[in-house]
Amino acid sequence: MKVGYYKHTNMFGGNTEDYEMLLKCDLCGEKQFEKLYVHRLGLAVGMSGCNYTFCKKCWQSKNLGERLLKLIGFENGAYIKSDYIEMREE
């Protein structure tokens, strides 16, 4: 089985050490490189986020949205606080 490693160098200062990270599906753990479909997609809620990788099976699944929300810690939905919403009748 072939696996892939993402090579990263920090170009913006701070920790300047290079590092490698195994590419694998963040939903099911698939490591076989040929089965990976989306590499390091950035997902964020608010000002911060992370990069995620997905295999083709998970990416095309019918419940991808629910699984993504659970992955990033919003298993009951990602709502704006009610303090920041003004309701109006139109």
Instruction: Please give the chain's pLDDT, 90 residues, in tens.
Output: 999 999 876 666 555 566 788 999 999 999 999 999 999 999 988 777 899 999 999 999 999 999 999 999 888 988 888 898 999 999
54: left (phi over 0), alpha (psi -120 to 50) or beta: beta
**Domain extent at residue 74:** 5-84
pLDDT at 8: 77
Residue 45 belongs to some domain of the structure: yes
Q: Looking at the 3D structure of the chain, how many domains does it have?
A: 1
Residue 31 belongs to some domain of the structure: yes
Residue 39 belongs to some domain of the structure: yes
- Report the half-sphere exposure of 48 (CA within 13 A, side-chain side): 2
What radius of gyration do the chain's Cα atoms show?
17
Q: Taking the alpha carbons of 38, 28, 19, 7 in that order, is the dihedral positive or negative?
A: negative
Residue 22 belongs to some domain of the structure: yes
Residue 89 belongs to some domain of the structure: no
pLDDT at 78: 85
Q: How many CB atoms lie within 10 A of CB 74?
A: 12
pLDDT at 79: 86
Residue 90 belongs to some domain of the structure: no
